């Protein structure tokens, strides 16, 4: 289980969704390297999924989701 020290807030944009949550990133590791080294999916915890449109409604929330790396267009630390 991730500790507060390894949990990194992220916002992920796909063609359809804006996803807010946390990824397990080692202290000092770069988010870019994590995404590049990820296999087919990126694990996101405490996930909130919204429509990608400005002010889009929340579609669902889940304690854990896998996001297909091929669908990620933008990923940024923080919310």
Task: Name the band, by pLDDT with cuts 50, 70 and 90, for residue 1.
Answer: low
User: What fold, for 7-77?
Assistant: SH3 type barrels. (2.30.30)
Task: Name the band, by pLDDT with cuts 50, 70 and 90, for residue 71.
Answer: very high
R_g over Cα of the chain:
12
Question: Which tens digit of pLDDT belongs to each residue from 25-59?
Answer: 888 888 888 888 888 999 999 999 999 988 899 99
Min mean pLDDT across 5-14, 24-33, 54-63, 70-79 is at 24-33
Total-model pTM: 0.87
Which H helix or E strand runs over 32? helix 31-37
Helix, strand, coil % in the chain, rounded to nearest 5? 15, 55, 30
Sign of CA dihedral 31, 38, 51, 16: positive
Q: How many CA atoms lie less than 13 Å away from 64 in the CB half-sphere?
A: 5
**Conformational region of residue 28, where left means phi above 0, alpha means psi within -120 to 50, and beta covers everything else:** left
Residue 5 confidence (pLDDT) above 60 = yes
């Amino acid at each position: 289980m991730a500790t507060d020290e390894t949990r990194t807030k992220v916002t992920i944009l796909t063609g359809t969704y804006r996803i807010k949550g946390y990824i397990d990133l080692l202290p000092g590791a770069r988010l870019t390297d994590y995404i590049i080294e990820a296999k087919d999916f990126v694990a996101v915890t405490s996930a909130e999924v919204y429509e990608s449109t400005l002010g889009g409604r929340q579609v669902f929330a889940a304690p854990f989701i896998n996001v297909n790396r091929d669908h990620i267009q933008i990923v940024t630390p923080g919310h």
